[in-house]
Every structure is written in C-alpha cells, then in structure tokens.
Homo-oligomer: A and B are copies of this chain.
Amino acid sequence: MIRVVLVEDQAMVRGALASLLGLEPDIEVVGEAASGHEALRVALETAPDVVLLDIEMPGGDGITAGARIREALPDCHIMILTTFGRPGYLRRAMEAGAVAFLVKDSPARELAAAIRRVRDGERVIDPGLAAAALSAGPNPLSPRERDVLAAAVDGSTVGDIAVNLHLSEGTVRNYLSSAIQKTRARNRIEAVQRAQAQGWL
C-alpha cells in the first residue's frame, strides 16, 4: 500500500480527489490537510510515503510546506498538484525537493499513475512545462524589485508602497520602472500580471 496525504484548500476538491484515489487498490489516503501549516502536522502524525500538495492556499503555500516536510521526513516523496503550471512554480518546487509536478488540467487517471511512478523512484514532470521553465530562465527580478512589485498587486499607490517598505517615492518608482522593463510590460499592471504568470512573485 502507498500511504498518501492530501493537501488542498478546497474541501470539495479534496474530498473528490480522495474518492478518486480510493478507487485504487494499492493507494490509501491516510490524512488530509487544508493548508500548508496543517500539512506539516498531519505529515508528522502519519509519516506517509507521499504528500500531494496544492500550491495556492491560505495559510502557508504548498512549496514551502513541502520543503519543511522533506526536512522532517527525508524518505517522504513530495508531489505538487496545482492549477497553474507556472514556470517559476516548477522551478521553486524542484529546488524545494519535489519529485513530481502535475497540473489539474491533466486527465484524472494520470494521478494514480504518477503516484506509482514516484513510489518507484521516478520523477514526474510535464515535458512541455519543463521546457517552458528552462526556456524562460530564472527570475530576473532582484529581491527588492520583487518586493516592490508584490506590494503593488493590490493597487497601492507609489506613496503607499514607499511607506510600507520604508523607501522614498523615487526609489519605488525606480524599482517599478526596472521591473516593468524586465517583464517587458507597458505599465505596472502588465508587469504584475506577467510576473505572476511566470510565478515570480
């Protein structure tokens, strides 16, 4: 039996995935969690073979949760199952020690197959996504540019961002300007969207 912990914030999707895996004779869902923090606790309690993690979740994202779990349980395999196949997500997931990266667009039967391949020591990554991640290159934003751009996602003005980050307004404008150029955007809105699409924030 492959013992699996399921981490996904949407309860109905989590339950549905559990029933999907319940159909497999050699797979057993031994725990469920709805956030990154909860995931670590449940993983420590159950010591599963595999943890299947969503990325976007309130209360700790799946990638950092995966890294923590791997630290505590080195034999546990980390798999990512996410809506968005963003190159930056894939890169960060790999750096965090994940061995599989699946998107929810793929057919349902691939989930069990991927779990078995991971159990056998293989890595499972969508080839097209891997190519995109490699061709896109690493995150070109400097840490500070990333901070400023991340502070701009909710529509804050330059003044707000300057106060929050303890910077001068001119500096904020400079960082935004260079972030706009690095993302090849026309303005900060497009810059935010492109950076998010690449998984750079």
Chain B residues whose CB sits within 8 angstroms of the CB of A192 once the complex forms: 155
Interface residues on A, range: 35 or more
Instruction: Please tell me if A121 contacts chain B, counting CB pairs below 8 Å.
Output: no
A14 smallest CB distance to B (angstroms) = 7
Instruction: Please tell me if A108 contacts chain B, counting CB pairs below 8 Å.
Output: yes
Of B11, B19, B81, B190, the residue contacting A19 (CB under 8 A) is: B19
Q: When the two chains form their complex, are residues B185 and A12 in contact, meaning their CB atoms are under 8 A apart? A: no
Q: When the two chains form their complex, are residues B154 and A10 in contact, meaning their CB atoms are under 8 A apart? A: no
Of B16, B104, B187, B190, the residue contacting A108 (CB under 8 A) is: B16
Which residues in chain A, 58-116, are within 8 Å of chain B measured between CB atoms?
A: 81, 83, 102-111
Instruction: Please tell me if A157 contacts chain B, counting CB pairs below 8 Å.
Output: yes
Distance in angstroms between the alpha carbons of A81 and B23 in the assembled complex: 23
Q: When the two chains form their complex, are residues B10 and A16 in contact, meaning their CB atoms are under 8 A apart? A: no
- Give the most central of A12, A22, A81, A83: most B CB within 10 Å: A12
Q: When the two chains form their complex, are residues A108 and B12 in contact, meaning their CB atoms are under 8 A apart? A: yes
Q: When the two chains form their complex, are residues B157 and A19 in contact, meaning their CB atoms are under 8 A apart? A: no
Instruction: Please tell me if A134 contacts chain B, counting CB pairs below 8 Å.
Output: no
Footprint of B on A, CB under 8 Å? 9-20, 22-23, 81, 83, 102-111, 154-155, 157, 185-193
